[in-house]
Amino acid sequence: MSETKKDESGEARVGVYICHCGGNISDHVDVEKVAEAVKGIPGVVVSHTEMFMCSDPGQELIQKDIESGSINRVVVASCAPSLHETTFRGAISRADMNPYLYEHANIREQDSWVHHGDPATAKAITLVAAAISKSRGLEPLEPIRVDAANHTTVIGGGVAGLRAAVDLAKSGLKVALIEKTPFLGGNASQLDKVFPTGEKAADLIAYLTSAVIKDPNISVYTCAEITGFEGYIGNFNITVSSKAPQGDMLHQVQAATAGKFQPFGGFLPKGIPETDTEETLTTGVIVFATGFKLYEPRTGEFGYGDNKEVVTLRQFIRIMDEAVPGTGTMKIDGRPIRRIAMIHCVGSRQIPGIHEADADDYMNEYCSRTCCTATLQAALEIRDKYPKTQVLDYYRDIRTYGHNQEDYYTQASEKNVLFFRYEPEDSPVITKTVGEFPLKVSVIDKLTFNEEVEAGVDLVVLATGMEAKSITNLVEMMKLPVGSDKFLQEVHPKLRPVEMANGGILLAGTCQAPMDINESCNAAQAAAAKAAAKAAAMLGKGYVELDPFVAKVDPEKCKGSGECITECPEKAISMTADNIAEVNPALCTGCGMCVAVCSVNGIDIQGWGLKAYEDMVDAIVKF
Amino acid sequence: MKAKRDLQFDAIVIGGGIAGLQSALDLGDQGYTVAVVDKDATIGGKMIRLSKVFPTLDCASCITTPKMSSAAHHENITLFTYCTLNNLDRQTPDKVVAQLIQEARYVDPEKCIGCRKCEYGCPVYVEDDEQGGFNMRKAIYIPFSNAIPQIPLLDVENCSLCGKCAKVCPTDAIRYDMKPEEFSITAKTAVLATGFELSSMEQKPQYGLDRLQNVVSSMQMERLLAPHGPYNRVLRPSDGKEPDSIAYVQCAGSRDESLGIPYCSRVCCMYAIKQAMLLSGALPLADITIYYMDIRAFGKGYEQFYQNAKAMGIEFVKAKVAKITQGENQTAKLRYEDQEGNGGVMEREHDLVILSLGIVPQWDPEGICSVGCGQDGFIKSIMPKIAPTVTNIDGVYTAGVAAGPKDIVDTITEAGAAAMEASNYMKSLA
Amino acid sequence: MSEEKKQSTATTDMKKLRQERKEYISGARDKMKGQNKIIKALKEALSGDPKTIPELAEIMGMKTDTVLMYVSTLKRYGIIGEGPKDGDYFKYELTK
What pLDDT is attached to residue C8?
54
Confidence of residue C10 (pLDDT cuts 50, 70, 90): low
Burial of A359 (0-12, 13-18, 19+ CB in 10 A): exposed
Label the pairing between strands B396-398 and B189-192: parallel
What is the spatial distance between Cα A547 and Cα A617, in angstroms, rounded to a whole number?
Answer: 24
CB contact under 8 A, B412 and A194: no
3-state secondary structure of A67: helix
- Checking if the pLDDT of A5 tops 60, the result is no
What fold is seen in the domain B1-103+180-195+362-430? FAD/NAD(P)-binding domain (3.50.50)
Burial of A315 (0-12, 13-18, 19+ CB in 10 A): middle
- Checking if the pLDDT of B210 tops 70, the result is yes
- Checking if the pLDDT of A1 tops 50, the result is no
Q: Output the CATH code of domain B104-178.
A: 3.30.70.20
Q: Does domain A551-605 have CATH number 3.30.70.20?
A: yes
What pLDDT is attached to residue A3?
43
Touch between chain A and chain C (3+ CB pairs, < 8 Å)? no
Q: How many interface pairs between B and C have CB atoms less than 8 angstroms apart? A: 94
Per-residue model confidence as pLDDT tens digits over A243-267? 999 999 999 999 999 999 999 999 9
For the segment A105-110, the average pLDDT, to the nearest whole number, is: 93
| Sign of the torsion angle spanned by Cα atoms B237, B242, B245, B251 | positive
- A252-256, A455-459, B1-5: range with highest mean pLDDT: A455-459
What is the spatial distance between Cα A112 and Cα B130, in angstroms, rounded to a whole number?
Answer: 28
Confidence of residue A432 (pLDDT cuts 50, 70, 90): very high
For the segment A279-283, the average pLDDT, to the nearest whole number, is: 96
What is the spatial distance between Cα A150 and Cα A173, in angstroms, rounded to a whole number?
Answer: 6
Look at A56-60, A212-216, A592-596, B194-198 and tell me which has the smallest mean pLDDT.
A56-60
What pLDDT is attached to residue A24?
80
What pLDDT is attached to residue B1?
44
Q: What is the DSSP string of B186-220?
A: EESEEEE---EEEPPGGG-GGGTTT-STTEEEHHH
Tell me the ipTM for this assembly.
Answer: 0.94
For the segment B417-422, the average pLDDT, to the nearest whole number, is: 98
What pLDDT is attached to residue B66?
87
What pLDDT is attached to residue B3?
61
* A521 phi/psi in degrees, rounded to 5: -65, -40
Instruction: Tell me the domain boundaries of chain C.
Output: 3-94
What is the spatial distance between Cα B143 and Cα B130, in angstroms, rounded to a whole number?
Answer: 7
The residue type of A264 is: F
Label the pairing between strands B153-154 and B140-141: antiparallel
Closest chain C residue to B231, measured at CA: C72
What is the spatial distance between Cα B187 and Cα B96, in angstroms, rounded to a whole number?
Answer: 5
Interface test with B, best of A29, A54, A197 (most B CBs within 10 A): A54
Determine the length of chain C.
96
More confident residue, A132 or B69: A132
Confidence of residue B250 (pLDDT cuts 50, 70, 90): very high
Percent of chain A with pLDDT over 90: 82
More confident residue, A440 or A24: A440
CA angle A602, A603, A609 (to 5 degrees): 115
Per-residue model confidence as pLDDT tens digits over A576-596? 999 999 999 888 889 999 999
What is the spatial distance between Cα A145 and Cα A162, in angstroms, rounded to a whole number?
Answer: 32
Q: For residue B375, how many C-alpha atoms fall within 13 Å in the half-sphere facing its CB?
A: 8
CB contact under 8 A, B413 and A54: no
What pLDDT is attached to residue A147?
80
Largest CA distance in chain B: 75
Confidence of residue B145 (pLDDT cuts 50, 70, 90): confident
Nearest to C31 among B158, B238, B239 (CB): B158
Closest chain B residue to C22, measured at CA: B160
Q: What is the DSSP secondary structure assignment for residue A291, as one 8-state letter?
A: -
Percent of chain B with pLDDT over 70: 99
Sheet with A44-50, side-by-side order of all strands:
A44-50, A14-19, A73-78, A102-106
3-state secondary structure A79-136: CCHHHHHHHHHHHHHHCCCCCCCEEEEECHHHHHCCCCHHHHHHHHHHHHHHHHHHHH
CB contact under 8 A, A530 and B339: no
For the segment B302-322, the average pLDDT, to the nearest whole number, is: 95
3-state helix, strand, coil in chain C (%, to 5): 65, 15, 20
What is the spatial distance between Cα B350 and Cα B328, in angstroms, rounded to a whole number?
Answer: 10
Confidence of residue B2 (pLDDT cuts 50, 70, 90): low
- Residues of chain A in contact with residue B33, where contact means CB-CB under 8 angstroms, are none
CATH of A3-141, one of 1.20.120, 3.40.50, 2.60.40, 2.40.128: 3.40.50
Chains in touch with A (3+ beta-carbon pairs under 8 Å) read B
Q: How many CB atoms lie within 10 A of CB B368?
A: 17
Peptide bond into A196 cis (omega under 30): yes
Instruction: Tell me the domain boundaries of chain A.
Output: 3-141, 151-291+469-541, 295-465, 551-605
Q: Output the CATH code of domain C3-94.
A: 1.10.10.10
Q: Output the CATH code of domain B199-358.
A: 3.50.50.60
The residue type of A248 is: D
B156 contact C CB<8A: yes
- Checking if the pLDDT of A182 tops 90, the result is yes
3-state secondary structure of B348: strand
For chain B, give every residue range classified as CATH 3.30.70.20.
104-178
- Mean pLDDT, chain A, rounded, equals 93
What fold is seen in the domain A151-291+469-541? FAD/NAD(P)-binding domain (3.50.50)
User: Cβ(B206)–Cβ(B253) under 8 Å?
Assistant: no
Beta-strand runs (E) in C1-96: 80-86, 89-94
The residue type of A350 is: Q
Peptide bond into A569 cis (omega under 30): no
What pLDDT is attached to residue C1?
44
What is the spatial distance between Cα B15 and Cα A615, in angstroms, rounded to a whole number?
Answer: 48
Confidence of residue B203 (pLDDT cuts 50, 70, 90): confident
For the segment B65-75, the average pLDDT, to the nearest whole number, is: 91
Closest chain C residue to B121, measured at CA: C77
- Mean pLDDT, chain C, rounded, equals 89
Sheet with A310-312, side-by-side order of all strands:
A310-312, A459-464, A339-346, A390-395, A418-421
CATH of A295-465, one of 3.30.70.270, 3.40.50.9100, 3.50.50.60, 3.40.109.10: 3.50.50.60
What pLDDT is attached to residue B232?
87
Per-residue model confidence as pLDDT tens digits over B372-390? 999 999 999 999 999 999 9
- Checking if the pLDDT of C6 tops 70, the result is no
Confidence of residue C7 (pLDDT cuts 50, 70, 90): low
Interface test with C, best of B122, B124, B160, B162 (most C CBs within 10 A): B160
* B95 phi/psi in degrees, rounded to 5: -145, 115
For the segment A444-467, the average pLDDT, to the nearest whole number, is: 95
User: Cβ(A95)–Cβ(A8) under 8 Å?
Assistant: no
What is the spatial distance between Cα A53 and Cα A87, in angstroms, rounded to a whole number?
Answer: 10
Look at A4-8, A354-358, B57-61 and tell me which has the smallest mean pLDDT.
A4-8
What is the spatial distance between Cα B412 and Cα A497, in angstroms, rounded to a whole number?
Answer: 8
- Checking if the pLDDT of A6 tops 70, the result is no
What pLDDT is attached to residue B113?
86
Per-residue model confidence as pLDDT tens digits over A296-312? 999 999 999 999 999 99
Q: For residue B206, how many C-alpha atoms fall within 13 Å in the half-sphere facing its CB?
A: 12
Give first-to-last CA distance, chain C, whole Å.
43
What is the spatial distance between Cα B304 and Cα B312, in angstroms, rounded to a whole number?
Answer: 12
Label the pairing between strands B125-127 and A144-147: unpaired
What is the spatial distance between Cα A99 and Cα A76, in angstroms, rounded to a whole number?
Answer: 13
For chain B, give every residue range classified as CATH 3.50.50.60.
1-103+180-195+362-430, 199-358
CB contact under 8 A, B62 and A79: yes
Touch between chain C and chain B (3+ CB pairs, < 8 Å)? yes
Nearest to A167 among B72, B73, B420 (CB): B420
What pLDDT is attached to residue A2?
39
What is the spatial distance between Cα A414 and Cα A431, in angstroms, rounded to a whole number?
Answer: 29
Percent of chain B with pLDDT over 90: 87
